[in-house]
Amino acid sequence: MRKVSKLSEVARLAGVAPITASRAIRGEGYVSAEARERILAAAAQLQYTPDPLARRMRGDRGRLIGVFVNNYGPVVLHEIIRFLSTHARAQGYDLLLFNADRFDSPDRMATCDLLGKLCAGLLLVMPSADDRYLDAIERQQLASVVLCFDARPLAVPVVAAENRLGARTAVDHLLALGHRRIAYIAGNPGTGQSAERERGYLDALAAAGIAPDPALVVNGAFVQPGGYAATEQLLALPVPPSAIFAANDEMAFGAIDAVNSRGLSVPGDISVIGYDDIPTSSCVFPKLTTMHQPFDAIAAYAVREVVGMIAGRPTEPARIAFPAKLVVRGSTGPAPHADVTPTTPRRRARAPRATAAGT
């Protein structure tokens, strides 16, 4: 096992004081070019690596930002983290990703505490509202920003999309096409985003004078199989919907698959609209009409905010919401005649299943 070298050994080999060696290795403070060259050569010879945790414990500001995510899996998380990484690098920071079902479980809190000390700041992406680690970051006043969260007010900055208004825009699009029996496929309640999108769905129906039907609201757990199962439930109703609004694109893909499996067509028999505009939404058949979330702008704002907090800038616990934009593609169309008579949608030739490109 290789012996771990100490900074004092690097200083001794280079013939300088430890504080000089420290300044040269950190790239901070004045060190002559000759001395810096000797110090870096000595560090390479001894294979010396600075201990970032020890530096943080001494109060040094590191160049790491921790990104905490609940259940790293959905494509939308990949998109957010991709943009976070781009903007963090532009600010001279690297990201350290920590994924867990929960952050407040006994076997995770110690890791959270360690990473909180190691990283200069934290970005929490779509945390669950009942995770007590949110209470911890509020109490400890860590340099932290929460992304894509709508469940409750927090004492730290939150940056997200306008979920309620975006959902209303999506349903207004379907109403403008003549649809009146519109279903909503909800996601998990943890982040509060699904509930906000449901409120927007109800807002649009109320403005159109349509009484909501509880049978038209089903849960798909934010996953494609869940969207498929939810749509099968909707199609089994005595009067199925003529349009479906899914709380994310992955559930919308499942909805299109379920419609096609019945020998029906999208959008001829049933229109489908999603939410997020992940890259695969334009690579399915038909291409998905959806609400575009500005993840690039959300990530840029979150990184700027946390870097400012790291630098000591005072920050208010405000919530910043970016508007979502309707992107019309091929999965929505005019309501069929079946929408105004209590009959099941007419059957058509079976269409290809909606499948993400490359799967």
Q: Which range, 32-41, 71-80, 159-168, is most confident?
A: 159-168
3-state secondary structure of 8: helix
Query: Residue 10: which of 50, 49, 51, 42 has the closest Cα?
Result: 42
The pLDDT of residue 47: 80
Rounded mean pLDDT of 222-241? 97
Do 183 and 302 belong to one domain? no
**267: preceding bond cis by omega (within 30 degrees):** yes
SS3 category, 147: strand
Please write the tens of the pLDDT for every residue from 82-118: 999 999 999 999 999 999 888 888 778 888 888 888 8
**CATH number of the domain bearing residue 182:** 3.40.50.2300
Q: Stretch 120-140: mean pLDDT, rounded?
A: 91
Give me the chain's average pLDDT, please: 87
The answer to whether residue 166 scores a pLDDT higher than 90 is: yes
Total number of domains constituting the chain:
3
Helix, strand, coil shares, percent, the chain, to 5: 45, 15, 40
> Does one domain contain both 332 and 253?
yes
In this structure, the answer to whether residues 108 and 35 fall within a common structural domain is: no
Residue 359 included in any domain: no
Reduce the DSSP state of residue 110 to 3 states and report it.
helix
CA distance 93 to 2: 29
pLDDT band (50, 70, 90) for residue 61: low
Residue 349 falls inside a structural domain: no
DSSP 8-state secondary structure symbol assigned to residue 2: P
Domain that holds residue 24: 7-50
Of residues 249, 276, 271, 274, the one with CA closest to residue 259: 271
Pair 170, 158 in one domain:
no
What's the whole-number mean pLDDT along residues 185-199? 96
Q: Phi and psi at residue 51, in whole multiples of 5°?
A: -95, 105
Task: Report residue 51's pLDDT band, with 50, 70 and 90 as the boundaries.
Answer: low
189 and 287 in a single domain? The answer is yes
Pairwise CA distance, residues 187 & 250, whole Å: 10
pTM of this prediction?
Answer: 0.78
Distance CA 48, CA 126 (A): 38
Q: Which of the residue ranges 63-72, 232-241, 287-296, 334-343 would you say has the lowest mean pLDDT?
A: 334-343
Q: Are 95 and 84 in contact (CB under 8 A)?
A: yes
Find the length of the chain. Answer: 359
User: Could you tell me if 14 and 117 lie in one domain?
Assistant: no
Check pLDDT > 50 for residue 339.
Answer: no
* 194 and 336 co-located in one domain: yes
Residue 350, domain member (yes or no): no
Please state, in angstroms and rounded to a whole number, the distance separating the CA atoms of residues 148 and 237.
Answer: 33
Alpha-carbon distance 91 to 233, whole Å? 48
Query: Are residues 272 and 187 located together in one domain of the fold?
Result: yes
Q: Is residue 57 part of a domain?
A: no
328: Cα within 13 Å, side-chain hemisphere: 10
For the record, the structure tokens of 171 come out as 């349903």
357 domain-assigned: no
- The pLDDT of residue 123 is above 90: yes
Strand order in the sheet with 182-186: 217-219, 182-186, 243-246, 271-273
> What does the pLDDT read at residue 50?
67
Mark whether 35 and 144 lie in a shared domain.
Answer: no
Cα 7 from Cα 279, distance rounded (Å): 48
- Mean pLDDT value of segment 192-221: 97
Cα separation, 10 vs 39, in Å, equals 7
Q: Considering the domain boundaries, does residue 347 fall inside one? A: no
Q: Are residues 241 and 256 located together in one domain of the fold?
A: yes
Is residue 355 in some structural domain? no
Can you tell me the distance from the alpha carbon of 214 to that of 218, in angstroms, rounded to the nearest whole number?
A: 8
Q: Are residues 189 and 204 in the same domain?
A: yes
For residue 355, the model assigns a pLDDT of 41
- pLDDT score for 352: 41
Cα(276)–Cα(308) distance, integer angstroms: 28
Residue 315 lies in a domain: yes
275: pLDDT strictly greater than 90: yes
Q: What is the 8-class DSSP label of residue 289?
A: B
Q: Residue 326 — pLDDT band, cuts 50, 70, 90?
A: very high
Apex CA 116: angle with CA 92 and CA 61, to 5°?
40
| Paired residues of 68 in beta bridges | 98, 124
334 shares a domain with 237: yes
pLDDT above 90 covers what percent of the chain?
A: 64
Report the pLDDT averaged over residues 136-158: 91
pLDDT in tens, 215-231: 999 999 999 999 999 99
